[in-house]
Amino acid sequence: MKTIRLLAVVSIAFLPLACSHGGHAAAIPTEIVVQAATGKLPADPLDAQWARAAEFQAPLILQDMVEPRLLEPSTRDVRVRALTDGAKIAFRLEWEDATREDLPMPAAFIDACAVQLPSKRAADVPAPQMGEPGRPVEITLWRASWQAIVEGRPDTIQAIHPNALEYHYPFMATPLVDGSDAKRDMKLRYAPARALGNDLAGPRTVPVQDLVAEGPGTLAPAASTTSTGSGKRSQKGWSVVITRNVPAGLAPGKRTQAAFAVWQGAHEESGARKMRTGWTPVLMEGKP
């Protein structure tokens, strides 16, 4: 029995798969069904409640449209389940990845994933490649390095390089003179991102960040991050829950589109170098 998989940039279609038991035919889901949660939305990827949500297997394709391109495939697919409490949607993403890459270092790349939805629900969605001018998309990004920090790994040079000495990093050393501006000046010189409050640097309370975009090269932080997330590692790969607000206009019985991306650190994937899906249909279940 063979399964034929068709990959498309704009949409993903599946062929029915015949079941060998009793001659019955079982159709592979053609859309992500966001089912109503029985209680509080599960934040843990291993929560038993996820078993009642239908799984959608989304094939991943190369990001080979804009520079820097990814020309050699890595992650084959991402398996998606979704639940809602009416106000928020929780997506669980699972994919295979043989190695854990969550330690930020020079020339190191981090495991990550993202969920993308149109900012406005409409029949005519923007391009799946991060939207279009005047037609924005909303993205929630999860990174394994942020997850490690949230779980307690100190966000310090000593945590990454246990044998590092303070005098190698002047902004970390105790000032020789009380009230001196030397430490502040050294921080601006040697750790400018952290000194200026860059969203990608410094301690974190959640392992996700909300972003907006209107096309490739326009990615920017949202006004605030209201999404939450949690990731767990197994021997086979990652399971990640990303919980975000229900998009404007999406209600029970209505449809929208979602797209997903996965970065495999061991494959040197970062930024635009990623495996991704096209738009995938999403049906919101629940009582109107």
Residue 9 above 60 pLDDT? no
Long-range contacts of 51-55 (CB under 8 A, 24+ apart): 53/81, 53/82, 53/83, 53/92, 54/29, 54/81, 55/29, 55/79, 55/80, 55/81
**Has residue 162 been placed in a domain?**
yes
Q: What are phi and psi of 265, to 5 degrees?
A: -60, -40
What 8-state DSSP symbol labels residue 174? Answer: P
What 8-state DSSP symbol labels residue 69? Answer: P
| Residues 131 and 185 occupy one common structural domain | no
| Residues 180 and 40 occupy one common structural domain | no
**Has residue 15 been placed in a domain?**
no
| Residues 173 and 246 occupy one common structural domain | no
Identity of the amino acid at 130: M
Instruction: State which H helix or E strand residue 241 sits in.
Output: strand 237-245
**Who's near 122: CB < 8 A, 6+ residues apart?**
249
Are the C-beta atoms of residues 94 and 237 closer than 8 Å to each other?
A: yes
Percent of the chain whose pLDDT exceeds 70? 83
| Residues 181 and 45 occupy one common structural domain | no
| Residues 113 and 177 occupy one common structural domain | no
| Residues 265 and 183 occupy one common structural domain | no
Range(s) of the domain holding residue 193 = 156-202
The CATH code of the domain that includes 229 is: 2.60.40.1190
| Residues 110 and 81 occupy one common structural domain | yes
**Who's near 160: CB < 8 A, 6+ residues apart?**
103, 104, 105
Could you read off the pLDDT of 255-285 as tens digits, one per residue?
999 999 999 999 999 999 999 999 999 999 8
Residue 175 above 90 pLDDT? no
Strands 112-118 and 61-62: unpaired
Could you read off the pLDDT of 50-80 as tens digits, one per residue?
999 999 999 999 999 999 999 999 999 999 9
| Residues 196 and 67 occupy one common structural domain | no
Q: What is the three-state SS of 219-235?
A: CEECCCCCCEEEEEECC
At residue 2 the predicted structure's pLDDT band, cuts being 50, 70 and 90, is very low
Q: Any bridge partners for residue 275, and if so which?
A: 62, 262
